[in-house]
Amino acid sequence: MKNISYRRYVETFRIIEKRSEEYGYQLRHLLKTAEWLKNGFSILDIGAGTGLFAASFIKRSKRKAASYTAIEPSEDHVKALRRNILKLKLDKDIIRGRFTPDTRNKRKFDLIIISHAVYWFASDIRGHLKNALRLLNENGKLVIYLQTFATFACILNTFLRSRDPIYPHKISSRDITRILDRLEVPYSISYLPGTLRADGLFRPGNKKLLDDLISFCLFTEAKDLNAEDLKFAEDLVRLLSYKTDKGVKLNLSVAAITVTKQKKAVDRVSISERRRI
């Protein structure tokens, strides 16, 4: 399957973002997780997107952040990001580019957020996570939000792209926890509710909306699928949808993985690396 362009990915992401009902649960989780912070803390937002999630957190946090650093590769997202954090009263630094295993920064951070951005670490998840840990201050926290293995997107990929090499939307919380276990890095995990509003998704006049949803999930254009696979994808989305008193929904449950940087954990990563070498 041919992957969609990054610009097209951003376009379909916006459609999903408007229908997603997961960020409120993430925000409550992050506010609770970050209660230990002291006034003047620093934040690194990896794959910051439009910055709305981080901005909401900063505004509602009991402690005042002193600085916010964002790394985001999309030009369109960076424009929205600048607008969304413009009025925040703290030092701001927006880095347009991709976070990689080789990304360096002169400073370290008290809180690092990776909200639905680990999908882009597919080429070297281990290397990306190790580098994020390097950028944490002592006793800092890395909080990762991503899909669980039970979301409709992950299930769709399991059936239709299971034979492909690893690629963005095949990554779930299971991949991340496996790597952290191998690195012997301690973490905690919480499973948060999350849904996608699917009302009207299957109406004949909304075929483009269904195609965009499938394109986003499979990271390939729906129109480029053969007729059999496209029909199977559409049937899967229908089968995975369910009715509630608030309309039709699709499961978008979120895993919240929290790593607290401790000297022992850092030592274990170093030992693991020496053994591997």
pLDDT exceeds cutoff 60 at 268: no
Domain membership of residue 234 (yes or no) is: no
pLDDT in tens, 168-180: 678 999 999 999 9
Number of domains comprising the chain: 1
Domain membership of residue 115 (yes or no) is: yes
Q: Yes or no: say if 137 and 144 are a contact pair by the CB < 8 Å rule.
A: no
Domain membership of residue 226 (yes or no) is: no
Domain membership of residue 92 (yes or no) is: yes
First to last CA, the chain: 35
Domain membership of residue 135 (yes or no) is: yes
pLDDT exceeds cutoff 60 at 113: yes
pLDDT in tens, 219-263: 999 999 999 999 999 999 999 999 999 999 999 999 999 999 865
Collect contacts of 2-8 with beta carbons under 8 A, ≥24 apart. Answer: 2/220, 2/221, 2/224, 3/167, 3/219, 3/220, 4/215, 4/219, 4/220, 4/221, 6/73, 6/74, 7/76, 8/215, 8/221
Write out the two tokens for 35.
């209660």
pLDDT exceeds cutoff 50 at 52: yes
What pLDDT does residue 164 have?
67
pLDDT exceeds cutoff 70 at 151: yes
Domain membership of residue 47 (yes or no) is: yes
Write out the two tokens for 238.
């229908």
φ/ψ of residue 34, rounded to 5: -95, 15
pLDDT exceeds cutoff 50 at 154: yes
| Residue of 271 and 2 predicted with greater confidence | 2
pLDDT bin (cut points 50, 70, 90) of residue 16 is: confident
Angle at Cα 119 formed by Cα 236 and Cα 105, nearest 5°?
A: 165
Write out the two tokens for 240.
């995975």
The pTM of the full predicted model, rounded to 2 decimals, is 0.90
CATH number reported for the structural domain that contains residue 35 in this entry: 3.40.50.150
pLDDT in tens, 76-89: 999 999 999 999 99
Reading phi first (left if > 0) and then psi (alpha if -120 to 50, else beta), residue 47 is in left
Q: Yes or no: say if 154 and 148 are a contact pair by the CB < 8 Å rule.
A: yes
- What is the rounded average pLDDT of the residues 119-146? 94
Domain membership of residue 229 (yes or no) is: no
User: Which domain range does residue 35 map to?
Assistant: 6-149+165-198+253-269
What pLDDT does residue 276 have?
38
Q: Residue 115: beta bridge partners?
A: 145
